[in-house]
Amino acid sequence: MRRPRVLPVVLLVVPAWLAACGASSPRPVEPSTAGSSLEADWARWRAERRESLAGPDGWLSLVALGWLDGPSTTVGSEPTAQVVLPADHAPPRIGRIERREGAAWLVPEPGVALTCDGAPIPGALALTPDDPGPPTVVELGPLRMHVIARAGRLGLRVKDRESPGRLHFGDLAVFPYDPALRVAARFEPAAEGATLPIVNVLGQQVDEPLAGRLHFTVGGRALSLLATWAGATPADGLSVMLRDTTSDEGATYGGGRYLEVAAPDADGATWVDFNRAYTPPCGFTDFATCPLPPADNELPVAITAGERAPDGH
C-alpha cells in the first residue's frame, strides 16, 4: 500500500506529534497477567478506540480543513468558498476569517446564526488556535469549527456531528487477538537533550524530545523502537510510531500505525502490546495532519496484530 504523499513545504516548528494529530488516542497499555483479562481489556480498549473515531467529536466527523494563508479566507457552502462546508448544514457564505497581526478573526455574515459557548456571535471574534489552546469553537447547527496551528500555519478544521462517514461507520478491522504479540520490553532512556526528527503528511518537520528506545523480541528476533513521551511527565507513558512489512503489503495502513506504551518501572521494564497498534487519523480522513513513523521505526517483520488497513485506505 502506498504511503501518504508528502508535500514539500518549509520546515518549521509544530506542536508535539501526537497533539498535532489530536488528543483522542487510546489509553496506554497496563501490565496484566491473566490471559482472559488481557483479551477482555483489549475488547474494552477497542470500544474506546471506536468512539474516538465515530463519536460525535471523533475523527470521522471531520468534513473540511482549509489553510488561512491569505489576508482573508471565505467560509461557506458555495463551491467558490475557500473553506467549503456541507451544503445541507450551511448557507452559501457564513463569513470570512481575517488575519490580523498573525491572529485569526472570524467576521460573520449578517443573519447567520453562529454561536460560541452557546451564545450568539454579535460581531468579529478572535479565534484562539488549538496550540496553545484551548481552541475557540464556533458552532452552526451540527457543525463545529476551530483553528489549528501547524508549523507556523493556521487552518480551519470543521467537524459535522451528522457526517455520513461517522453515522455509517461499522466496526474497526483488526487482526485476531494474539497474546504472543504482547511482549516484554526494556526501556533504554535517551541522553538528556536528545531529539527525534518527525515529519508529518504535509512534509513539515519538528525535532521532538526523544524519550528513549524500547528493546524487545518478536518471533525470536531482537528488535527496537524509538519512543517519545506520551504526556507531560514520564508517568504518562510512551508513544511510538511504527511501520512493519504489513504496511507494505496493504494489510495495514501504508502510513504506519501508532502505539501507546505504559510507563516503564524503575528497572526499565514494560510491555509492548502490538494488539493495540492503531491506524492514525489520516487512515480515515483526508483532513488530518498525521506525523509519519521515523525511518528507525520500520520493523523488518510482519506484526499481524492490532488494526488492519481501513477500507479505502
Predicted confidence at residue 204, as pLDDT, reads 85
Predicted confidence at residue 36, as pLDDT, reads 66
The residue type at 157: R
User: Do the Cβ atoms of 196 and 208 come closer than 8 Å?
Assistant: yes
Same domain for 153 and 262? no
Same domain for 228 and 286? yes
Query: Which CATH number is 151's domain given?
Result: 2.60.200.20
Same domain for 179 and 86? no
The phi, psi pair for 53, rounded to 5°, reads -95, -50
Question: Which residue's entry shows cell 455574515?
Answer: 109
- pTM score of the predicted model: 0.83
Same domain for 28 and 132? no
Same domain for 211 and 181? yes
Residue 220 lies in a domain: yes
Enumerate residue ranges in the chain where pLDDT < 50.
1-20, 22-34, 313
Residue 302 lies in a domain: no
Same domain for 75 and 209? no
Instruction: Tell me which residue of 145, 182, 165 sits closest to 273, measured CA to CA.
Output: 182
Give, in order, the Cα–Cα distances in Å from 264 to each of 1, 38, 158, 185.
34, 18, 38, 9
Residue 8 lies in a domain: no
| Domain limit, last residue, from 132, 160, 188 | 160
The total number of structural domains in the chain stands at 2
Predicted confidence at residue 102, as pLDDT, reads 87
Same domain for 218 and 276? yes
Residue 4 lies in a domain: no
Residue-range definition of the domain harbouring residue 121: 59-160
Same domain for 148 and 108? yes
Give, in order, the Cα–Cα distances in Å from 157 to each of 87, 95, 100.
16, 15, 19
Residue 193 lies in a domain: yes
Report cis status (omega within 30 of 0) of the bond before 4: no
Residues 229-241 pLDDT 10s: 999 899 999 999 9
Same domain for 293 and 274? yes
| Domain limit, last residue, from 117, 132, 160 | 160
Residues 244-285 pLDDT 10s: 999 999 999 999 999 999 999 999 999 999 999 999 999 999
Same domain for 197 and 155? no
Same domain for 182 and 43? yes
CA–CA gap between residue 24 and residue 187 (Å, rounded): 25
Same domain for 270 and 205? yes
Residue 230: alpha-carbon gap to chain centroid = 13
Residue 307 lies in a domain: no
